[in-house]
């Protein structure tokens, strides 16, 4: 039967778990419209990216 060679200390265990924490999504405010969108992503409501129109947005009926 497999048995660990030595006990893993609390310090080593916690160092391994240090990267497991969940991070919240980052959002930035658009300069022109004030809408929130993810950084380095296209604003889907306006179709703008870095001040340039990259997508045609359909008008809502």
Confidence of residue 61 (pLDDT cuts 50, 70, 90): low
Per-residue pLDDT at 59 exceeds 80: no
Please name the residue that has the structure tokens 């809408």.
35
Nearest to 33 by CA among 18, 19, 43: 43
In this predicted structure, what is the pLDDT of residue 17?
A: 95
pLDDT at 12: 94
pLDDT, position 31: 80
pLDDT, one tens digit per residue, over 5-54 is 888 999 999 999 999 998 888 998 888 888 888 899 988 888 888 888 99
pTM: 0.52
């Amino acid at each position: 039967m497999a048995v660990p060679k030595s006990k893993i200390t609390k310090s080593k265990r916690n160092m391994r778990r240090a990267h497991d924490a969940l991070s919240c999504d980052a959002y930035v405010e658009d300069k022109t419209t004030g809408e929130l969108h993810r950084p380095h992503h296209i604003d889907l409501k306006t179709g703008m990216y870095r001040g340039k129109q990259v997508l045609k947005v359909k008008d809502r009926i």
